[in-house]
Amino acid sequence: MFLLVSGHDRPGGGFAAGLVAGMAYVLRYIAGGRRELAAGLPMRPQGLLAIGLLVAAGTATLPLLWGAPILQTFAGTADLPVFGR
């Protein structure tokens, strides 16, 4: 989470966080096998993929409700206790 939040506005932040999270599952598979990996997943991979696709489609089309073009971005700032501005 730290890599994702701290590197959000810098190049490679989300990508690096995804790599670290993916490697955690790879190491769990190597250490414990298929059953150990399945025990560590919060849900079935198909459900996770479906939720990801719904979030991506919703994020792309949500600006249409306010009359903005598809994939219109929104920027905001917030002060987080641990991470800063």
pLDDT value for 57: 93
Cβ–Cβ under 8 Å, residues 60 and 71: yes
Is the pLDDT reported for residue 1 higher than 90?
no
Q: Could you tell me how far CA 30 lies from the centroid of its own chain?
A: 23
pLDDT value for 53: 93
Confidence of residue 10 (pLDDT cuts 50, 70, 90): low
Q: Which residue has the higher pLDDT, 48 or 54?
A: 54
Give the integer Cα–Cα distance in Å for 83 and 61: 30
Q: Which residue has the higher pLDDT, 55 or 83?
A: 55
Distances (CA, A) of 6 to 21, 28, 32, 34, 41: 15, 25, 31, 32, 25
